[in-house]
Structure 1
Amino acid sequence: MANVKSRVRENPATKPKADASAKPQGPIGREAVLDAAIHQFSIAGYDGTTMREIASVSGMLVGSIYYYFSSKEQLFLAAHEHAIEHICAAVRKSIDPAADPWTRLTQAAQGYLESMLNDYEYASIIISEFPRRRADELRDVLISHRQRFEDLFADIISEIPLRKGVDRSYFRLAVLGMLAWTYTWYNPKGRDSPRVIAKKMVSMLREANS
């Protein structure tokens, strides 16, 4: 991976906080709260975000948020699930069910990287929040959300003709880890688009298993 340091993305933690007085466009409701929560969580993380900040960005009173969500934890779970479903939808949309498994894996990878690298806030809330740092109940729900996404790849990988002895579980983890790591070094001004990066990565894996 040549010249990685020059392509490292800006650390979200060093980004200035958005103007909390900014008001979103459109109707105020549950979706507006989720969008505001994802925005704030992507900037400051779960621990560094307050309900008051989310309320300010969404244009609602703090008390109004509790009409939809009983706690910050419940709001975070809903925002995390919303972000997961956003990325899952992009992956599903990219896949041609009639294509061969390697082509479908490439398509799934392309949908994933395009969504993750072009929709920063959705990806941030998933990648920067590690389930194992949370209490058991919260952790288990977060892991169940992520499992929906991983299953999209697991289903495809189960049909790929891998070399004898290759552990499909480790192969899946290698694919997902490789794709997720692009979040830390991808540069929008770099030479390759998310689609090209995904295609090259899957091609390398395919050549290694030929």
Structure 2
Amino acid sequence: MGSGVVSKGERTRESILEGAYQLFLQQGYHGTSMRQIAEEAGIALGGIYNHFSGKEEIFTAVLEAYHPIHEIVPVIQASEGATIEEYVRNAAMGMMTALERQPGFLNLIFIEIVEFNSQHLPDLVDMTFPKVMSIVGPFAASQNKLKDIPLQSIVRSFIGLMFMQYFAEKLVGSKFVDMPLEEAFEQTLQIFLHGILAE
């Protein structure tokens, strides 16, 4: 809303999503009931159906609402650098910080994969892709310094590499890379910027 005022209905919807988010993380999707979600949100069970048709719709709304892309894009857009290398490094560090602020999202993805066989992921990609492509500006400004690769592919590779770096750190830590995580992060940046082939 333009005035910044949040309606009662919007507050109720947010309470439902917040309560469902916490319950899904603790109990999984199938282990969580609509009654539990209503109790967590502080509303009557019937009140949920004024906002959502059922539990699956709530889950997909939680996936979208708590996707870290909402924090990642503004952070990357605000990143600066005198060179493309400096910009990429600052953007990557900002992205990792933003991911750290949404630690539960990784668990949501596991729930999606295990309990839904990834059926909602294509729609999630459709939702996030326009936001991701909004960060092409700095890459476009330096296009004369880049290889002849479509900007969409460059941005997609950057986001994908940083996500995988974060997931690897959270899943297995330094054992996965057998080196300090800071060094692994720097090597990932070097691979993105310069590739793996010797000049």
TM-score for the superposition, normalised by structure 1: 0.61
Which residue of structure 1 lines up, in the alignment, with residue 5 of structure 2?
none
Q: What is the CA distance between 1:155 and its match in structure 2?
A: 4.9
> In 2 relative to 1, CA 71–119 (structure 1 residues): closer, same or farther, beyond 3 Å?
same
> In 2 relative to 1, CA 89–200 (structure 1 residues): closer, same or farther, beyond 3 Å?
same
Q: Distance in 1 between matches of 2:129 and 2:100?
A: 20
Which residue of structure 2 lines up, in the alignment, with residue 20 of structure 1?
none
Helix, strand or coil at the partner of 2:43: coil
2:44 to 61, 65, 71: 61
Which residue of structure 2 lines up, in the alignment, with residue 107 of structure 1?
90
Q: What is the CA distance between 1:179 and its match in structure 2?
A: 1.6
Name the count of aligned residue pairs. Answer: 176
Greater RCO (Cα-Cα under 8 Å, separation 6 or more): 1
Please say if residues 73 and 135 of structure 2, whose CA atoms lie closer than 8 Å, have aligned partners that are also in contact. no
Please say if residues 91 and 108 of structure 1, whose CA atoms lie closer than 8 Å, have aligned partners that are also in contact. no
Helix, strand or coil at the partner of 1:67: coil
Please say if residues 133 and 152 of structure 2, whose CA atoms lie closer than 8 Å, have aligned partners that are also in contact. no
1:133 aligns with 2:118: yes
Structure 2: stretches of 5+ with no match in the other structure = 1-10, 175-179
Please say if residues 34 and 45 of structure 2, whose CA atoms lie closer than 8 Å, have aligned partners that are also in contact. yes
Which residue of structure 1 lines up, in the alignment, with residue 162 of structure 2?
179
Q: What is the CA distance between 1:114 and its match in structure 2?
A: 1.5
Which residue of structure 1 lines up, in the alignment, with residue 57 of structure 2?
74
Deviation string, structure 1 residues 96-146 (Cα, Å, up to 9, x no partner):
366454433333322322122342124433575359732xxx565323222
> In 2 relative to 1, CA 171–121 (structure 1 residues): closer, same or farther, beyond 3 Å?
same
Q: Distance in 2 between matches of 1:149 and 1:45?
A: 28
Q: Distance in 2 between matches of 1:183 and 1:49?
A: 28
Q: Percent identity of the aligned residues?
A: 20
Q: Distance in 2 between matches of 1:128 and 1:158?
A: 37
Q: Distance in 2 between matches of 1:157 and 1:45?
A: 39
Which residue of structure 2 lines up, in the alignment, with residue 201 of structure 1?
188
Helix, strand or coil at the partner of 1:129: helix
Q: How big is the alpha-carbon RMSD for the aligned residues of Structure 1 and Structure 2?
A: 3.8
1:92 aligns with 2:79: no
Pick the structure with greater CA Rg.
Answer: 2
The residue type paired with residue 177 of structure 1 is: G
